[in-house]
Amino acid sequence: MSTSIGKRIQRIYASLGTVVETDIQSTVKYVQEGTTGRMTFDKDMSPEEIENNAHSAIALLANLPDHLKRWLREHKQSTAPLEQFTQACFELKVLKDLANTEKHGGFDRNGGHSGLFPTLHNVHRGMRLEPKAGGSKATIQIKFPEGIITHLDGEPLQVVIDADVRDSAGNVVGKLTTLLESALTQFEGLCRQIGAA
Protein backbone atom coordinates (compact mmCIF):
# COMPACT_ATOMS: atom_id res chain seq x y z
CA MET A 1 0.00 0.00 0.00
CA SER A 2 1.24 3.51 -0.68
CA THR A 3 3.06 4.99 2.27
CA SER A 4 0.65 7.86 2.97
CA ILE A 5 -2.55 5.89 2.39
CA GLY A 6 -1.16 2.80 4.12
CA LYS A 7 -0.20 4.79 7.20
CA ARG A 8 -3.65 6.33 7.39
CA ILE A 9 -5.33 2.94 7.10
CA GLN A 10 -3.05 1.62 9.86
CA ARG A 11 -4.05 4.60 12.03
CA ILE A 12 -7.69 3.69 11.47
CA TYR A 13 -6.97 0.10 12.50
CA ALA A 14 -5.24 1.49 15.60
CA SER A 15 -8.29 3.64 16.25
CA LEU A 16 -10.52 0.62 15.80
CA GLY A 17 -8.24 -1.08 18.31
CA THR A 18 -9.47 1.45 20.84
CA VAL A 19 -12.99 0.64 19.71
CA VAL A 20 -12.46 -3.17 19.64
CA GLU A 21 -10.62 -4.66 22.63
CA THR A 22 -9.69 -8.34 22.93
CA ASP A 23 -8.43 -8.29 26.54
CA ILE A 24 -11.86 -8.89 28.04
CA GLN A 25 -10.85 -9.23 31.71
CA SER A 26 -9.18 -5.82 31.79
CA THR A 27 -12.49 -4.16 30.91
CA VAL A 28 -14.94 -6.09 33.13
CA LYS A 29 -16.52 -4.45 36.13
CA TYR A 30 -18.76 -6.72 38.21
CA VAL A 31 -21.32 -5.09 40.47
CA GLN A 32 -23.01 -7.35 42.99
CA GLU A 33 -26.61 -6.44 43.78
CA GLY A 34 -27.82 -8.65 46.61
CA THR A 35 -27.84 -12.24 45.39
CA THR A 36 -27.45 -11.19 41.74
CA GLY A 37 -25.09 -8.95 39.91
CA ARG A 38 -24.36 -7.29 36.62
CA MET A 39 -21.29 -6.89 34.47
CA THR A 40 -20.23 -3.82 32.57
CA PHE A 41 -17.25 -3.41 30.27
CA ASP A 42 -16.28 0.16 31.10
CA LYS A 43 -13.85 -0.53 33.93
CA ASP A 44 -10.99 1.48 32.46
CA MET A 45 -12.86 4.15 30.46
CA SER A 46 -15.21 6.99 31.32
CA PRO A 47 -18.37 7.55 29.23
CA GLU A 48 -16.65 10.60 27.70
CA GLU A 49 -13.60 8.55 26.69
CA ILE A 50 -15.84 5.90 25.14
CA GLU A 51 -17.72 8.49 23.09
CA ASN A 52 -14.51 10.29 22.10
CA ASN A 53 -12.96 7.04 20.79
CA ALA A 54 -16.09 6.38 18.75
CA HIS A 55 -15.97 9.86 17.17
CA SER A 56 -12.22 9.60 16.51
CA ALA A 57 -12.68 6.38 14.55
CA ILE A 58 -15.56 7.91 12.59
CA ALA A 59 -13.54 11.02 11.68
CA LEU A 60 -10.45 9.10 10.59
CA LEU A 61 -12.46 6.86 8.28
CA ALA A 62 -14.66 9.65 6.92
CA ASN A 63 -11.60 11.68 5.90
CA LEU A 64 -9.78 8.81 4.19
CA PRO A 65 -11.29 9.42 0.71
CA ASP A 66 -9.86 12.97 0.70
CA HIS A 67 -6.37 11.56 1.20
CA LEU A 68 -6.85 8.97 -1.53
CA LYS A 69 -8.06 11.68 -3.91
CA ARG A 70 -4.85 13.60 -3.32
CA TRP A 71 -2.80 10.43 -3.86
CA LEU A 72 -4.63 9.75 -7.15
CA ARG A 73 -3.93 13.27 -8.40
CA GLU A 74 -0.26 13.09 -7.38
CA HIS A 75 0.03 9.82 -9.31
CA LYS A 76 -1.85 11.27 -12.30
CA GLN A 77 -4.69 8.78 -12.02
CA SER A 78 -8.39 9.37 -12.52
CA THR A 79 -10.46 10.08 -9.43
CA ALA A 80 -13.53 8.53 -11.10
CA PRO A 81 -13.26 5.15 -9.29
CA LEU A 82 -13.07 6.96 -5.94
CA GLU A 83 -16.02 9.18 -6.81
CA GLN A 84 -18.06 6.14 -7.84
CA PHE A 85 -17.09 4.40 -4.61
CA THR A 86 -18.07 7.34 -2.39
CA GLN A 87 -21.44 7.56 -4.14
CA ALA A 88 -22.08 3.82 -3.80
CA CYS A 89 -20.74 3.02 -0.32
CA PHE A 90 -23.69 3.45 2.05
CA GLU A 91 -21.57 2.92 5.16
CA LEU A 92 -19.10 5.63 4.16
CA LYS A 93 -21.89 8.10 3.45
CA VAL A 94 -23.37 7.57 6.90
CA LEU A 95 -19.95 7.87 8.57
CA LYS A 96 -19.19 11.08 6.64
CA ASP A 97 -22.51 12.54 7.82
CA LEU A 98 -21.72 11.63 11.44
CA ALA A 99 -18.25 13.19 11.12
CA ASN A 100 -19.61 16.37 9.51
CA THR A 101 -22.27 16.74 12.21
CA GLU A 102 -19.61 16.42 14.91
CA LYS A 103 -17.28 18.83 13.10
CA HIS A 104 -19.84 21.52 12.22
CA GLY A 105 -22.26 21.12 15.12
CA GLY A 106 -25.26 20.39 12.93
CA PHE A 107 -26.62 18.68 9.87
CA ASP A 108 -26.24 19.58 6.23
CA ARG A 109 -29.55 21.01 5.04
CA ASN A 110 -30.15 18.15 2.63
CA GLY A 111 -29.43 15.37 5.14
CA GLY A 112 -25.83 15.06 4.08
CA HIS A 113 -24.32 12.36 1.92
CA SER A 114 -26.80 9.70 3.05
CA GLY A 115 -29.88 11.91 3.25
CA LEU A 116 -30.68 10.27 6.60
CA PHE A 117 -29.57 12.92 9.15
CA PRO A 118 -27.88 10.11 11.14
CA THR A 119 -27.08 10.39 14.85
CA LEU A 120 -25.42 8.15 17.45
CA HIS A 121 -27.51 6.74 20.27
CA ASN A 122 -26.61 4.57 23.24
CA VAL A 123 -22.85 4.88 22.82
CA HIS A 124 -21.50 2.14 25.04
CA ARG A 125 -18.89 -0.51 25.53
CA GLY A 126 -20.08 -4.11 25.52
CA MET A 127 -19.00 -7.66 24.79
CA ARG A 128 -19.39 -9.04 21.26
CA LEU A 129 -19.97 -12.78 21.11
CA GLU A 130 -20.33 -14.35 17.66
CA PRO A 131 -20.33 -17.91 16.30
CA LYS A 132 -17.47 -19.02 14.08
CA ALA A 133 -18.05 -18.62 10.35
CA GLY A 134 -20.59 -21.23 9.30
CA GLY A 135 -21.38 -22.01 12.92
CA SER A 136 -24.58 -21.50 14.83
CA LYS A 137 -23.42 -20.96 18.41
CA ALA A 138 -20.96 -19.13 20.58
CA THR A 139 -20.50 -19.99 24.24
CA ILE A 140 -18.93 -18.39 27.27
CA GLN A 141 -18.84 -19.30 30.93
CA ILE A 142 -18.95 -16.62 33.63
CA LYS A 143 -17.77 -17.38 37.15
CA PHE A 144 -19.65 -15.38 39.76
CA PRO A 145 -19.12 -13.40 41.88
CA GLU A 146 -15.67 -12.70 40.43
CA GLY A 147 -16.95 -12.07 36.91
CA ILE A 148 -14.27 -14.24 35.29
CA ILE A 149 -15.18 -14.96 31.68
CA THR A 150 -14.04 -18.15 29.98
CA HIS A 151 -14.46 -18.41 26.21
CA LEU A 152 -15.67 -21.86 25.22
CA ASP A 153 -16.75 -21.65 21.57
CA GLY A 154 -17.09 -19.13 18.75
CA GLU A 155 -15.09 -16.26 17.35
CA PRO A 156 -12.63 -14.61 19.76
CA LEU A 157 -14.42 -12.47 22.31
CA GLN A 158 -14.21 -8.74 21.84
CA VAL A 159 -15.25 -5.74 23.87
CA VAL A 160 -16.43 -3.10 21.43
CA ILE A 161 -17.39 0.52 21.61
CA ASP A 162 -20.64 0.55 19.76
CA ALA A 163 -23.75 2.63 19.24
CA ASP A 164 -27.00 2.56 17.40
CA VAL A 165 -26.88 4.80 14.34
CA ARG A 166 -30.37 6.17 13.82
CA ASP A 167 -31.95 8.19 11.04
CA SER A 168 -34.09 11.30 11.57
CA ALA A 169 -37.20 9.14 12.14
CA GLY A 170 -35.45 7.18 14.88
CA ASN A 171 -35.01 4.00 12.83
CA VAL A 172 -31.81 2.05 13.44
CA VAL A 173 -29.63 2.35 10.34
CA GLY A 174 -26.97 0.03 11.73
CA LYS A 175 -24.45 -0.60 14.48
CA LEU A 176 -21.45 1.72 14.54
CA THR A 177 -18.75 -1.00 14.63
CA THR A 178 -20.39 -2.81 11.72
CA LEU A 179 -20.48 0.40 9.65
CA LEU A 180 -16.84 1.19 10.48
CA GLU A 181 -15.55 -2.31 9.71
CA SER A 182 -17.54 -2.63 6.50
CA ALA A 183 -16.52 0.79 5.17
CA LEU A 184 -12.84 0.14 5.90
CA THR A 185 -12.92 -3.30 4.24
CA GLN A 186 -14.55 -1.83 1.13
CA PHE A 187 -12.10 1.08 1.05
CA GLU A 188 -9.13 -1.27 1.22
CA GLY A 189 -10.63 -3.19 -1.71
CA LEU A 190 -10.83 0.03 -3.71
CA CYS A 191 -7.19 0.82 -2.90
CA ARG A 192 -6.11 -2.60 -4.19
CA GLN A 193 -8.25 -2.17 -7.31
CA ILE A 194 -6.72 1.18 -8.27
CA GLY A 195 -3.15 0.25 -7.37
CA ALA A 196 -2.85 2.26 -4.19
CA ALA A 197 -2.33 -0.96 -2.25
Give the start-to-end residue ranges of the domains of the chain.
3-194
Between residues 141 and 50, the one the model is more confident about: 50
Report the percentage of the chain scoring pLDDT > 90: 50
Asked if residues 30 and 39 have their Cβ atoms less than 8 Å apart, the reply is yes
Range of lowest pLDDT (69-73, 90-94, 129-133): 129-133
Listed as own residue / partner, the contacts of 97-102 with beta carbons closer than 8 Å and 24 or more positions apart are 98/55, 98/58, 98/62, 98/165, 99/55, 99/58, 99/59, 99/62, 99/63, 100/62, 102/55, 102/58, 102/59
Give pLDDT tens digits for 16-41. 766 677 777 778 777 777 777 777 88
